[in-house]
Amino acid sequence: MEKGKVWLVGAGPGDPGLFTIKGQEILEKADVVLYDSLVGAGVLSMIPERARAVNVGKRSSHHTMPQREINALILEEAKKGNRVVRLKGGDPFLFGRGGEELELLAEQDIPFEVVPGITSPIAVPAYNGIPVTHRDYTSSLHIITGHRREGEASGIDFESLVASGGTLVFLMGIAALSDICRGLIEAGMQPDMPAAVLQKGTTARQKRVVAAVSTLPDAVRKAGIETPAVIVVGEVCSLADTFEWYEKLPLFGYRVLVTRPKETASGISAILREKGAEVLQIPAIATVPIEDNKKLLRAFRNLKEYQWIAFTSPGGVRIFFEEMEKSGTDIRSLFGLKIAAIGKGTADELKRRGLIADLIPPVYDGETLGEWIAREAEPGSRILLPRAEIGGRAILEKLKGFDVEDIPTYRTLACESGILDETMMFESGGIDCAVFTSASGVHAFVKANPELDFRLVKAACIGKQTQAAADAAGMQTYRAKEASRDSLVELILQMHGQQKEHSKTRERSR
């Protein structure tokens, strides 16, 4: 049997936008993924469905699997000929025991690669407005593990660290915070030296406490800081309020679940991330072509007979042109046809194929699309409507005076639930809002989470049919003013604003 290969991949500190391009490319081709507890949910959602994912734990004091067993499992899977990705939070070689995992592979002559990851000692302070070096304050950085085995001394050389005058970053040190601060002061550090504890940096649950090193443990206790968290000590911590930027983004602190099909989710996800949201992109449905579609093949042969072609989704555009290419039909056969698109996302999918839509109505729903085509088309025009197998009748009602060929082109299938436990995340308050852009997406989400109390789900819905489906499931529903991506984003901003105001009211009432 051919040997497999192992990749040690750093997943970064949490924000999926900080996962490297190379890491993502390798992850997409993995047969087996062994992941740590510190890998961010957004990165975990990128693990392909076909890959076998194994949680090997590895968080301070909470090990799902001992290190020697992890090493043996990596070797075993590689010997089976698999492409094995060992996915580790942060960087594999910074207190990640990556070297230990490679030793056994090297002994057994198993090929491997290392993909570095953006590391939390630099990224987390940066997301909190703390530059780990600054010419006016310090020119050195020292990264120390604060973790120690039970009953053992820390082994930290506090005198040397204090004498260095550099920024000190302690990882895995929250349990020993009081000992660390005491050790620094006893080694000669000024008690009023600025210090910070940074909770869950680069994610929606990021939280910062800045205080003097002498008072930091008390401040952290009062703030209720949770792990994982990074400890930073040094003058640069005084810059946090001046340089903070992540907290100022309009959707900071909001974790959003996007349920669109994978191939069409990236647009709205990118906008939400740009505005500061932590986005979990978990497709609830997949669009697949209808096999042996004789009606569509006949339409390809007779494209000259149509005056208009109308697309009602980005997925419909993608599958139409994929099937067109398979049939051997030249794209130039579309010459002379007017093209209508239900919205910007659908129009963008057409642009990727060099086609500009002639008509995009201001409201993105089937009824409005039908109205606008009826207004623009010549009476008696023949219209090709390639769309979902189960499509609404509103567009057909508006096109009654025309010769419409309504051809089912694709069907939507519910995706299997991935490695993220969405039910648990909603029950624990780990997701603030779920975004739905179709009724079929709602139905698939409900099917994938049968044990979830849907009253816990705040659903941002793009239109009336989507909201009706979410209402029927018992969700807390909110609907965009218009069935458009921009209006949906505006709705999510409003929902976040209401949540922040509610949180402030609760704080004041305590």
- Contacts of residue 272, defined as CB under 8 A and 6 or more positions apart, other chains included, come to 251, 256, 258, 279, 489, 492
Is 172 one of the catalytic residues?
Answer: yes
* Rg of the chain (C-alpha set): 27
Is 36 one of the catalytic residues?
Answer: yes
CB 170 within 8 A of CB 147: no
Produce one character per residue of 315-354: b if its CB has 16 or more CB atoms within 10 Å, e if not: bbbbbbbebbeeeebeeeebeebbbbbbbbbbbbbbeeee
Q: From CA 427, how far away is CA 55, in angstroms rounded?
A: 21
Tokens of 53: 């994912």
Q: 439, 402, 127: which is closest to 259 by C-alpha? A: 439
Residue 253 backbone class (left: φ over 0; alpha: ψ -120 to 50; beta: rest): left
Q: 399, 396, 319, 310: which is closest to 358 by C-alpha? A: 310
Distance set, CA 376 to CA 361, 369, 394, 422 (Å): 11, 11, 18, 45
Is 58 one of the catalytic residues?
Answer: yes
Q: From CA 141, how far away is CA 429, in angstroms rounded?
A: 36
CB 214 within 8 A of CB 181: yes
Question: Rounded to the nearest 5 degrees, what angle is found at the Cα of 456, between the Cα atoms of 437 and 255?
Answer: 60
58, 88, 207, 398: the catalytic one is: 58
DSSP of 122-156? HHHHHHTT--S-BTTTBS-EEEEE----TTS----
Q: From CA 422, how far away is CA 308, in angstroms rounded?
A: 42
List for the chain the helix, strand, coil content (%; round to 5): 40, 20, 40
Distance set, CA 292 to CA 162, 288, 302, 410 (Å): 73, 12, 17, 11
Read off the amino acid at residue 211.
A
Read off the amino acid at residue 269.
S
Q: Is 233 helix (H, G, I), strand (E, B) or coil?
A: strand
Q: Is 359 helix (H, G, I), strand (E, B) or coil?
A: strand
Q: From CA 503, how far away is CA 247, in angstroms rounded?
A: 16
DSSP of 377-429? SPTT-EEEEEEESS--SHHHHHTTTSEEEEEEEEEEEEPPP-SS-HHHHHHTT
- Contacts of residue 345, defined as CB under 8 A and 6 or more positions apart, other chains included, come to 264, 267, 313, 314, 485
46, 172, 193, 495: the catalytic one is: 172
15, 36, 91, 365: the catalytic one is: 36
| Catalytic residue annotation | 36, 58, 172
